Structure 1
């Protein structure tokens, strides 16, 4: 029974760690772009969910890509980069391959193109637009992040399990507290019982001691009585001897 509880506890801990890691990943994917235009990262790495098939088959819509901060001066044609862009009149991050690099008066500009697009991007980007360089992709994990981005997904996958785990921990603490109180009560009961047994043992020992004293006193009285008897007999014999001597004279 104890082994089953131990396995269940370990399994629950593993599940909670997975939820925590997923929640952390969710936070960085859904909140990656800040209002000031900067991008959050973990040790220089940022996870992003892919929203289109413009880079297929390198990676597809629904994948999760990992990008890394880079030195833009070392970028070359063929590198895949993530950059700030305006898509459908909205601010967004886009990830395409560098198709050409131009340099004018020491300032570099980049022409990008999606592997699955027929034409290059119309917006020419500069060093300041580039967020990072593509490292690798996790197939279909972007869908998980998109689901977590929704209110229902966040509630089901993160909030609800954490709430259940919190309730379980509270219940566990209550059970532990009750068991501790029962153990303390049982310990007190055993201590009281031991005290009673000890007292009874001492009483029995005292009774035995009193009985021995009474027995010894009786024996002493008997010996004293025997001594008195012998003394009386001796005195009687002496008196008889004296009487005989008087009669002879």
Structure 2
């Protein structure tokens, strides 16, 4: 029984560490994990991919970079910069026929694509689900109870 408890405990601990490593720690470095929900950047970036967006300054963005920005509806968009004009960046999804309607201003710029994990959004969905958070919280509480029980029952 104790052997199985340790195995389950180890798996839960690895899950918690994975969550911190993939979704909490990047924020300390200005990196934001994002699930790709549309196919506008096919074939390079497809629905279900997981991308990490690095915050950046307007000056850091070059033609050809993939940037994340907020569109007029308040939604995050991930498109490629095709040129820079006075009004801002002109962007286009790789799979789209035309450029985006409005230039991306410095205020709307969220960041630049840092890393892409093909089909990685399943990990994000699993780790950020309410059920997983409850399991990780419960496992933490169990670890604390077991620690104190072992420490003070001798």
TM-score, scaled relative to structure 2:
0.80
Q: Per chain length, whose mean CA-contact separation is higher, i.e. which structure has more relative contact order (CA < 8 Å, sep 6+)?
A: 2
Aligned length: 154
Deviation at 1:56, TM superposition (A): 1.4
Greater Rg over alpha carbons, structure: 1
Task: Tell me, in whole angstroms, the C-alpha distance in 2 between the residues paired with 1:169 and 1:69.
Answer: 37
Contact 2:42-2:94 within 8 A present in 1 as well? yes
Task: Tell me, in whole angstroms, the C-alpha distance in 2 between the residues paired with 1:120 and 1:137.
Answer: 23
1:52 aligns to 2:38 (yes or no): yes
Q: Which has the higher strand share?
A: 2
Q: Which has the higher helix share?
A: 1
Distance 1:134 1:158, change over 3 A: same
Unaligned stretches of 5+ residues in structure 2: none
Q: Deviations over 1:42-61 (max 9, x none)?
A: 31222111111111121111
Deviation at 1:25, TM superposition (A): 4.6
Unaligned stretches of 5+ residues in structure 1: 29-39, 181-249
SS at match of 2:28: coil
Name the Cα RMSD after superposition.
3.1
- 1:26-41 alignment runs, 5 A limit: 26=23, 41=27
Contact 1:101-1:110 within 8 A present in 2 as well? yes
1:99 aligns to 2:82 (yes or no): yes
Task: Tell me, in whole angstroms, the C-alpha distance in 2 between the residues paired with 1:47 and 1:18.
Answer: 17
| Aligned match of 2:99 | 120
